[in-house]
Amino acid sequence: MVRLRDIWQRLYPYGVFRTGEAVYLTFDDGPIPEVTPQVLEILAHYDVKATFFMVGENIDKHPEVFDQVVQAGHAIGNHTYNHLKGWCTPTEEYLANVAKFPKETKLFRPPYGKATLLQRRALVKQGYRLIYWDILTRDYDSSRTPEAMYEQIKREVRPGSIINFHDSIKSNERMLAVLPQVIEFLQAEGYELKELRSDEY
């Protein structure tokens, strides 16, 4: 059965939506002291590694939280310096904002998943791996419940899935409530939970 997600992936080149046989937990928009350390505690409890697509401005504001993520062995991805929407930003400005990211990484996720074809081509040419997702939890949506997110992940997960969460104020209560359940379910189902690495695909 062809899913709408699969059609979207074929129409949106230069992006990784699934990869390998493991499952990848990813967190966008941090690091922030109100949420990110709590995510780290949960991941450490279950001995799980994840990938954090960070906003460069937040790294500069909260370097101590960034250091906690790195010291815990998680992967870091570039989420632009100011969380720019590519569709609304001139290409030269967008690429300059990506380049302003204060740490070295070749993993990149466009904020909102929105970057123009020209922007994506330029980033790939610069050596970036454009990481999207197979499962969007929409934990930022106040109408979503942890139960709904949990059932969605149970229903949609498959080998290679990349699951999108947010370590942000907007998402924290819902995301933190469901994250342990999700990890326990995935581990019980026999999935390996890994961080993304730019040289693996």
**Residue 199 falls in the annotated catalytic set:** no
Whose CA is closest to 116, among 29, 9, 12?
Answer: 12
Kindly give the interhelix angle for 36-45 and 172-188, rounded to the nearest 10 degrees.
20
CA distance 12 to 153: 23
For every residue of 114-182, which 3-state class applies, written as one string?
CCCHHHHHHHHHCCCEEECCCEECCCCCCCCCHHHHHHHHHHHCCCCEEEEEECCCCCHHHHHHHHHHH
Catalytic option among 28, 29, 134, 139 = 28
Catalytic option among 134, 166, 167, 199 = 166
**Residue 166 falls in the annotated catalytic set:** yes
Task: For CA atoms 56, 59, 60, 66, give the dihedral sign.
Answer: negative
Question: Which 3 state secondary structure label does DSSP give 7?
Answer: helix
Residues designated catalytic: 28, 166
